[in-house]
Amino acid sequence: MELYIGRDFSRLAHTRYRKDGVESGESFREERVVPALEQAISAGRTLTVVIDVSCSGSFLHEVFAKLPNHGFSRLQVSQHLVMTANEAYLEPYSILALRYLREGYEPSLQDSTSPMPVQ
């Protein structure tokens, strides 16, 4: 299963909260990522979130750092969620998204400067 940020949601992935616009990280997480990840887990499949547009840090933080609040275990996420960029110049966004996801599970890492994938 693949979910493209730009193609499937918004080419303007820059706001954090729904109150700031319908193309927010909060909307993407709640309306797209959570249902798709639930479906992937139920089917024993992997959800690949493809970063195909430039994204603000606040958008990515809202999507990935808050994902643990939806009841997904760290093991479920590590087994069923992959993040990738479809262009080399977008790869830093993928690394940042992984960092935010890890911070969501380990808040003490918020000051860490080295992005690390979820184990």
Q: State the average pLDDT over residues 95-99.
A: 95
Instruction: Spell out the domain ranges in the chain.
Output: 2-108
pTM of the model: 0.85
pLDDT of residue 112: 47
Q: State the average pLDDT over residues 71-77.
A: 92
Residue whose C-alpha is closest to residue 74's, from 113, 32, 116, 18? 116
Give phi and psi for 45, each to the nearest 5: -115, 180
How many C-beta atoms lie closer than 10 Å to residue 46's C-beta? 14
Q: Locate tokens 């994902």: which residue?
A: 67
